[in-house]
Amino acid sequence: MRTLDQSSKLKNVLYEIRGAALDEAARLEAAGHTVLKLNTGNPAIFGFEAPYQIVRDMIAAVPTAHGYSESRGILAARRAIVSRYEEIPGFPHVDPENVFLGNGVSELITMTMQALLDEGDEVLIPAPDYPLWTAMTSLSGGTPVHYVCDENNGWNPDLEDIRSRITDRTKAIVIINPNNPTGAVYSRETLEGIADIAREHSLLVLSDEIYDRILFDDAVHIPMATIAPDLLCLTFNGLSKTYRVAGYRSGWMVITGPQKHAQGFLHGINLLASTRLCPNVPAQHAVLAALTGVQTIDQLVAPSGRLHEQRDITWEKLNEIPGVSCVKPQGALYAFPRLDPEVHEIRDDAKLVYDLLVAERILLVQGTGFNWDAPDHLRIVTLPEARVLGEAIERLGNFLSSYKQ
């Protein structure tokens, strides 16, 4: 029989959040062990219930949502998305024609990269990043070029580093704000600096804002499109995090700014939207329910709220571990602690994650899984109850105190 290999297109495609360690976790669970899975930002498995209104409206839609919809998505949902952005001061005008719904933001990232990139085109992506951006750039034949986010400056992107990486093949810049995995919320100064660079070099701006309402303390999220209304900007968002219905697979993308020069690319987006026929139609009705209904995330991120408390305990407990430091996350659902290489000599952070899983039954993701170069960071999901997180981080500390590679 002829051997079937994976295609060469997948050579540089990595997604370690659901990588090899997850298989080992499944094996441990099958053997009867309980594994604390802190690898995915999936609110549902940590007792976050789907808002009742969304569930109710989605169920109500099912009997009549059995046909394909328009490829971009149902008009009522696209209009609800337009209204959401009309409420944000300074957000440029959005036409419903420029709104695309997707089976999660993930599908829209894939579509965008496939429509945009030719072999060797370069995309600037943060390091660390949410790795789907890098993976889909590679799959689409592009070259991911990582710019550094500065841990000593609240993980804000380093503007000089961005500038130094621009070539005549650079087509777009990706911004993830609030950031996964660091929890950073970018300052106005940083965003203006990025917009200046994009202006100078005619870059397409791709702004992933899926955590825009998950903010702590006095953090303020500034949508990139408000900073760069004069640039072609694609803003990504969806229901997985703020509305806690990740399993419904429902996201959107809005296009703002000048379009005349980008007709070919936009035609490509429309073409790919047609080839996927349409996103799951009942989940499009969930968008309508979410955006026109009561939003309850505010209570969870408030100082008395569950997400706030969990962020606090994670950050405090991590910083208590000798040789571990963590920048306080200002948003999103993660912490990205650093293991001081002088104290913890880690050569292979994937092995560290594997060994921690086997010894403690706790599943984290290694920093290199987020396209961070050095094996000196881990990502922890801050979704479990504070007590569970506190205990898990204490066990991580005990484990690290005697761990050697």
Residue 105: CB minimum distance to ligand PLP, A: 4
Read off the tokens for 4: 């079937």
Residue 89: CB minimum distance to ligand PLP, A: 24
Query: Cα–Cα distance between 357 and 368 in angstroms, integer?
Result: 17
Stretch that binds ligand PLP, among 87-95, 99-107, 151-159, 348-356 (CB under 6 A): 99-107
Query: Cα–Cα distance between 177 and 183 in angstroms, integer?
Result: 8
Identify whether the C-beta of residue 218 lies closer than 8 Å to the C-beta of residue 302: no
Query: Cα–Cα distance between 199 and 163 in angstroms, integer?
Result: 12
Site string for ligand PLP, 251-270 (x = CB under 6 A): x-------------------
Show Cβ contacts of residue 9 under 8 Å, excluding neighbours closer than 6 positions.
Answer: 139, 141
Show Cβ contacts of residue 368 under 8 Å, excluding neighbours closer than 6 positions.
Answer: 16, 349, 350, 374, 375
Question: Is 176 a binder of ligand PLP (CB under 6 A)?
Answer: yes
Residue 175: CB minimum distance to ligand PLP, A: 10
- Measured in residues, the chain has a length of 405
Binding-site size for ligand PLP (CB under 6 A) equals 13
Question: Is 113 a binder of ligand PLP (CB under 6 A)?
Answer: no
The smaller minimum CB distance to ligand PLP, of residues 106 and 270, is found at 106
Question: Is 215 a binder of ligand PLP (CB under 6 A)?
Answer: no
The footprint of ligand PLP on residues 37-56 (CB under 6 A) is 41
Question: Is 130 a binder of ligand PLP (CB under 6 A)?
Answer: yes
Going from the C-alpha of 159 to that of each of 124, 189, 198, 251, 329, the distances in angstroms are 12, 10, 11, 29, 21
Give the residue at shortest CB distance from ligand PLP. Answer: 104
The smaller minimum CB distance to ligand PLP, of residues 344 and 377, is found at 377
Question: Is 126 a binder of ligand PLP (CB under 6 A)?
Answer: no
Question: Is 128 a binder of ligand PLP (CB under 6 A)?
Answer: no
Cα Rg, the chain, nearest whole Å: 21
Nearest to 399 by CA among 334, 300, 323: 323
| Alpha-carbon dihedral angle through residues 365, 368, 371, 376, given to the nearest 10 degrees | 110
| Bridge partners (DSSP) listed for residue 331 | 215
The smaller minimum CB distance to ligand PLP, of residues 166 and 380, is found at 380
Question: Is 208 a binder of ligand PLP (CB under 6 A)?
Answer: yes
Residue 285: CB minimum distance to ligand PLP, A: 16
Read off the tokens for 210: 């899926």
Residue 133: CB minimum distance to ligand PLP, A: 8
What is the contact surface with ligand PLP in residues (CB under 6 A)?
41, 104-106, 130, 176, 180, 208, 210, 238, 240, 246, 251
